Amino acid sequence: MKSDFGLKDQFRRAAMSISDNVAEGFEYNNNPDFIRFLTYAKGSSGEFRNKVIIQKEANKIKEEDYLLLYTKAIEFSAKAKRFIDYLRDFEKKKKALKKGII
């Protein structure tokens, strides 16, 4: 069905957006831009989780697939947040070193 294709397409695009944002941010080769794109990737993970819920509610995916995908999206978000926090802390320490505070 046409509506199934649209839903599947949105689902795929949301999933691809996660890795696309990580890759793009990494290529800028500086932490502030990487942090920005990791934040976008984290947001895309939330969008992906939403699409997973919609797919499950529409009976388009099995319960075990739902649980796996939803859990992996939650894990990614948590790891991305920790990495973002680490990079922000690193940048703060780097600035403090430059100013001679540390």
Name residues whose C-beta falls within 8 Å of residue 63's C-beta, 6 or more positions apart in sequence: 56
* CA count, 13 A, side-chain hemisphere, 15: 11
Supply the CATH number for residue 75's domain. 1.20.1440.60
> Which residues form the domain of 13?
2-99
pLDDT tens profile 25-77: 999 999 999 999 999 999 999 999 999 999 999 898 999 999 999 999 999 99
Question: E strands, the chain, where?
Answer: none
C-alpha 71, offset from chain centre: 13
C-alpha 98, offset from chain centre: 31
pTM confidence score: 0.87
Report in angstroms the alpha-carbon separations of 54 from 9, 45, 57, 63, 97.
Answer: 13, 14, 5, 12, 48
